[in-house]
Amino acid sequence: MSQPALHEYVHAARAADLRAEARAHRLRREAAAGRGARGVAPVRHRVGWLLIETGLRFLRPPALPRPAGR
């Protein structure tokens, strides 16, 4: 495996881990929303996860345009 390919593999693995953590956090947040204000995470945590989710969106490759039908 070449060094650039290894570099991409490490980043892809880390991004997958962060997506899983973000998904778990989102599920916990949704479950806590039904329990009232005591289950809501502090604003600092919500902003932090928002930044992580935003960063993960930047890591996704852009959608390539499809060629026109012939």
Q: Is residue 54 part of a domain?
A: yes
Q: Is residue 66 part of a domain?
A: no
Instruction: Count up the domains in the chain and report the number.
Output: 1
pLDDT at 67: 76
For the cut 70, the answer to whether the pLDDT of residue 41 exceeds it is no
For the cut 60, the answer to whether the pLDDT of residue 39 exceeds it is no
Q: How far is CA 25 from CA 2, 34, 46, 53, 55, in A?
A: 35, 15, 9, 11, 16
pLDDT, tens only, 3-25: 778 888 888 888 999 999 999 99
- Cα–Cα nearest to 52, from 24, 32, 31, 33: 24
For the cut 80, the answer to whether the pLDDT of residue 58 exceeds it is yes
Note if the pTM is more than 0.75: no
Q: Is residue 42 part of a domain?
A: yes
Could you tell me which residues come within 8 angstroms of residue 47 by beta carbon, excluding any fewer than 6 positions away?
none
Rounded CA separation 48/26 (Å): 12
Please give the residue range of the domain that contains residue 33.
Answer: 3-59
